Amino acid sequence: MRTLNIAISELEFNKFGIKNENLNFSELIEIVTKELSIQNLNKCLELAEKNGLSKLTIDEIANEVKAVRTDAKNRN
């Protein structure tokens, strides 16, 4: 097994909720994946608000999905 040393700031250490200075690779991947998921979700929310999609009701979303699916079926 190989060891890899990675330096991060105290701020990042605390931000990611790291409890131990020694992590295995799976634990590091889990932390990074979680952070990337949060960043992507925030980008999606920002885009939804920017384009007025955040105000759609569940019924309106369902109708939009249905319309896109119907259009896709009609193209074949």
* 5 falls within a domain: no
Task: Report pLDDT digits (tens) over 39-69.
Answer: 999 999 999 999 988 888 999 999 999 999 9
pLDDT for 10-40, tens place per residue? 999 999 999 989 999 999 999 999 999 999 9
User: Residue 29 falls within a domain, yes or no?
Assistant: yes
Comparing CA positions, the residue from 24, 63, 19 lying closest to residue 6 is: 24
| pLDDT in the model for residue 63 | 95
Structure token pair of residue 32: 């990074």
> No. of H helices and E strands in the chain?
3, 0
- Asked whether residue 1 is domain-assigned, the answer is no
Question: Interior CA angle at 55 toward 49 and 60, to 5°?
Answer: 130
Q: Is 2 part of any domain?
A: no
Task: Indicate whether 76 pLDDT > 80.
Answer: no
User: 27 is in which domain, residue-wise?
Assistant: 10-75
Looking at residue 54, what is its pLDDT? 86
* Separation CA 62–CA 58 (nearest Å): 6
Specify the number of domains making up the chain: 1
